[in-house]
Amino acid sequence: METKKELKILFWLVAFFLFAYFLPVEKETFMGAIYEGLFLVKWYAREHVLLCLIPAFFIAGVIAVFVSQGAVIKYFGAQATKWKSYLVASVSGTILAVCSCTILPLFSGIHKRGAGLGPAIAFLYSGPAINILAIILTARILGFELGIARIIGAVVFAIIIGLLMAFFFRKEEKERAEEAMNFPSPPESRPMWQTSFHFFVLVFILIFANWGKPDVEEGFWFWLWSNKWTITAIFGILFTGSLLFILKLKKLYVGLSVAGVIATAIIFPGNPLAPFVVAFIALSIITGLTPGEPREWLWSTWGFTKQIVPLLFAGVMVAGFLLGSPESGEGIIPNQWVASLVGGNSVTANLFASVFGAFMYFATLTEVPIIQGLLSSGMGKGPALALLLAGPALSLPNMLVIHSVIGTKKTAVFISLVVVMATISGLIYGAI
């Protein structure tokens, strides 16, 4: 046993030595890829952690603490009406304007509370895939047909992939459902409407804080973007009311927090991010100071954070190294290779587009200009749809976190289903 341990240490020492010995630091492409990885990490930290992930972690904490296991099982569990649970899960993305990483805490939350694998997976896929603003942008920039094909494909994907996952792992799901039935949840501590109000106010804060700029400077969507921070502030006021009257936090704590947020907004009038961050710091402090459910909420939020954040940043770094960043140059894999491999409507082109999309990280709405550029470089319309269906819903960092929640086997099957179905959809659409 001791010899085996020493041989293992020797193996890793030799492996690291060979890695260091042959490290191609003199190659511009290698150093450029490292820069791309670091650039993407910086970009992700600035654009998505504060506005997207932090609210998402708190929302996941709400699900884990305030939403009873019985309620989740009732609507998404094995005994729930299938058409209702899959329908709700599959169209949830029209509400949530989130990327493949921001959806992860929410997926982890409902899965932890007992949601069936099928509806949970349908929710996981649909969250970033059916973003209504992304669908509109797709139709405007890439064409009405592609926009319609994307929304139909995404809804159908979410339902079929969820049903297939539930079928493939039906034995495990049956055992999990039986275990959940053996441990009934305690009675609700408050009316469901209060929990729903608290939950949806946070969801709308997440949505409007991240509302993307439309491609036109007029109309309803542009008005929403122009007033996004005013709308976010209105929901912030409603959230303050929820803290006072639903969670019943101390008025002194909440009052001091509100004063801090207002003061920050006055000091930094042109930077809405500053009071937004102060608000969540204050929320962390006052929930940590309040025993019972508020403190449990904070600890649950922290649990999701420490589970997910390290994997996300590692995945973002690797994705940037391999494929580059949406706003900069290219990774170790040249962009010309990608463009040349997605031309026409062959099986190879659609499969490559699906795999490429599955591993690359797309922030919300960034997939549209990227595909627009690829189309101008000769990309076929079939591979374009395949990339739209696989890309926003998956990414390398997303895969790492899903693996930590549902395990290697289920993650591999989920990724394979997305890639295969995206490839088939691309072939069909390209042939029409």
pLDDT in tens, 87-117: 777 776 556 656 667 677 878 877 777 778 8
Q: Work out the pLDDT band at 181, boundaries 50, 70, 90.
A: low
Most confident of 268-282, 311-325, 336-350: 268-282
How far apart, in whole angstroms, are the C-alpha atoms of residue 90 and residue 122? 5
- Domain residues for the domain of 378 are 31-181+189-249+290-431
Question: How much is the pLDDT for 281?
Answer: 94
| pTM score of the predicted model | 0.71
Q: Work out the pLDDT band at 123, boundaries 50, 70, 90.
A: confident
Question: How much is the pLDDT for 371?
Answer: 76
Question: How much is the pLDDT for 133?
Answer: 61
Question: How much is the pLDDT for 254?
Answer: 94
Q: Work out the pLDDT band at 235, boundaries 50, 70, 90.
A: very high
Question: How much is the pLDDT for 229?
Answer: 93
Side-chain half-sphere of 219: how many Cα atoms within 13 Å? 6
Most confident of 18-32, 239-253, 317-331, 349-363: 239-253
Question: How much is the pLDDT for 376?
Answer: 64
How far apart, in whole angstroms, are the C-alpha atoms of residue 31 and residue 25? 6
Mean pLDDT, residues 426-432 taken together: 86
Q: Is residue 62 part of a domain?
A: yes
Q: Is residue 256 part of a domain?
A: no
Of residues 325 and 303, the one with the higher pLDDT is 303
Looking at residue 89, its amino acid is A
Number of domains in the chain: 1
Q: Is residue 410 part of a domain?
A: yes
Of residues 430 and 258, the one with the higher pLDDT is 258
Q: Is residue 270 part of a domain?
A: no
Predicted confidence (pLDDT) at residue 263 exceeds the cutoff of 80: yes
Question: How much is the pLDDT for 131?
Answer: 66
Residue 216's alpha-carbon distances to 27, 136, 141, 151, 219, in angstroms, are 42, 11, 11, 21, 8
Q: What is the dihedral of CA 286, 292, 294, 297, to 10 degrees?
A: 130
Predicted confidence (pLDDT) at residue 428 exceeds the cutoff of 70: yes
Question: How much is the pLDDT for 284?
Answer: 94
How far apart, in whole angstroms, are the C-alpha atoms of residue 207 and residue 220? 16
Q: Is residue 113 part of a domain?
A: yes
Question: How much is the pLDDT for 132?
Answer: 64
Q: Is residue 321 part of a domain?
A: yes
Question: How much is the pLDDT for 415?
Answer: 93
3-state secondary structure (DSSP) of residue 343: strand
Question: How much is the pLDDT for 289?
Answer: 93
- Structure tokens of 179? 């275990």
Question: How much is the pLDDT for 79?
Answer: 64
Mean pLDDT, residues 192-210 taken together: 86
Question: How much is the pLDDT for 97?
Answer: 56
End-to-end CA distance of the chain: 62
Q: Is residue 107 part of a domain?
A: yes
Question: How much is the pLDDT for 66?
Answer: 80
Q: Is residue 216 part of a domain?
A: yes
Predicted confidence (pLDDT) at residue 233 exceeds the cutoff of 90: yes
Q: Dmax of the chain from CA atoms?
A: 72
Side-chain half-sphere of 61: how many Cα atoms within 13 Å? 25
Question: How much is the pLDDT for 333?
Answer: 73
